[in-house]
Amino acid sequence: YQELKEEMDQLVGRINGRFTTPNWSPIRYIYGYVSQQELVSFYRDSAVALVTPLRDGMNLVAKEYVACQINTPPGVLILSPFAGAAEMMHEALICNPYEIDEAAEVIHRALTMPEDERTLRMNHLRRRERIFDVNHWMQSFFKAMESIVSSDVSDDLGATKLPDVSIEDFDEYLSKYLDSTNKLALLLDYDGTLAPIATHPDLAFLPAETKSVLQRLSKMPDVFIAIISGRSVDNVKAMVGIEDITYAGNHGLEIIHPDGSKFVHPMPAEFESKVSQILKKLQDQVCREGAWVENKGALLTFHFREVPASLRNELSEQAKQIIEDAGFRIMRAHYAIEAKPPVQWNKGRASIYILRTAFGVDWSERVRIIYAGDDVTDEDAMLALKGMAATFRVTSSHIVRTSAERRLPSTDSVLKLLKWVERHLDSRDILNG
């Protein structure tokens, strides 16, 4: 501890020495006793709590912070995956303290998080702490000591696992989650999730059987369906071809609701004219050897699937440079690079907007959610809905990093999931009379 304190003293001194102004200091370093009243005040008024131990059996600081979050809007909890509390506090933002760049991104995300997402996450965290209080833990320990297994106590206490999912797993995993009273929201990506990846977007057709299941589910009164895609909203609606469901295109920048009303996220005026400029540069400089640009209105996608393997890296790096020089953000997809305007909007925020619009501000109390997607852009939704949805990453790889709870190996497995949902809801209706 003494060596760690000396290291901290020096680090804080260097940072404050470099960045301090006459009226402000970046770090207020408190070493010593803090009264309980002062500590509670710090917890209550902090916009972000950064709890990132390298190893910790539980970590009560994270729980104390949540207990003190009574302000509106509440703060955001950032938690290390190496703290035992992270196994239950799923709505916290997870931050690996060994990954410095990732930690900076997580802190920025917490500081810029919209009020509705802050409130949603903290409400779930506080509710769980009220349920799993000191009396719960005391009873759990006593029962464990007596070797008494109680399903009431063991419910939902395990860590989130990421094994592959087969049809046999669905009943065990989802039947308890989809109870007899809640509505169900299905939020689904299109390419690589509902439809197999194709050599050209126009060839990625929705399988007839998958469309039939979706149509039947869309007619169930307790089911809400939203297709959230990187395609333009009009294109994904045409590809799916099912009425009375929600469509979100360009990763949520455009949304068409079942009643036909439309939401379009505003784009900074200075970037609207840049889209055509980027399009022309990409076409002139890198559209060769099978590479081409898809114009989706608010977004552009540079496709290089058909480019010879030896040239892919060179062309993709050139395209990336053109996009970044114009001030747009890079989003990587399957053999493609997307140019996105620098707005704080993604599939995660779009998902929360869609759910709030469809079910009201208290949607998380009344709706069960299943989210499935295959792309890195779907990770934004999986992060935003963590602890509030059953999430699936469509990938056959065991190595791909994901925030999803489970993996599905293929689009065929997504079809099996949808069939299972249909069968489960049918049986639920029969039981409810």
Mark residue 247 as left, alpha or beta (left: phi above 0; alpha: psi -120 to 50; beta: remaining). beta
Domain assignment present for residue 150? The answer is no
More confident call, 55 vs 154: 55
Least confident of 11-20, 172-181, 293-302, 407-416: 172-181
Model confidence over 305-321: pLDDT tens digits? 888 888 999 999 999 99
In angstroms and rounded to an integer, the radius of gyration of the C-alpha atoms of the chain is 24
Domain assignment present for residue 138? The answer is no
Domain assignment present for residue 14? The answer is yes
How many domains are contained in the chain?
A: 4
Domain that holds residue 295: 269-340
Give residues with Cβ within 8 angstroms of 130, minimum separation 6. none
Neighbours of 59 (CB within 10 A): 19
Give the end of a domain, one of 297, 323, 340: 340
Task: Tell me, yes or no, if the pTM score tops 0.75.
Answer: no
> Do 349 and 246 share a structural domain?
yes
Domain assignment present for residue 8? The answer is yes
Domain assignment present for residue 327? The answer is yes
Q: How far apart are CA 210 and CA 204, in angstroms?
A: 13
Are residues 62 and 78 in contact, defined by beta-carbon separation less than 8 angstroms? no
- Cα-to-chain-centroid distance, residue 287: 33
> Do 405 and 334 share a structural domain?
no
Domain assignment present for residue 306? The answer is yes
Q: How far apart are CA 16 and CA 88, in angstroms?
A: 36
> Do 10 and 44 share a structural domain?
no
Which CATH number belongs to the domain containing residue 306 in this structure? 3.30.70
> Do 59 and 21 share a structural domain?
no
- Mean predicted lDDT score pLDDT of the chain: 86
Which CATH number belongs to the domain containing residue 120 in this structure? 3.40.50.2000
Model confidence over 50-61: pLDDT tens digits? 998 888 888 889
More confident call, 161 vs 125: 125
Return the pLDDT at 309.
87
Q: How far apart are CA 77 and CA 129, in angstroms?
A: 14
> Do 183 and 294 share a structural domain?
no
> Do 128 and 58 share a structural domain?
yes
Query: Strands 254-256 and 246-249: what pairing?
Result: antiparallel
> Do 364 and 227 share a structural domain?
yes
Residue 197 has pLDDT above 90, yes or no: no
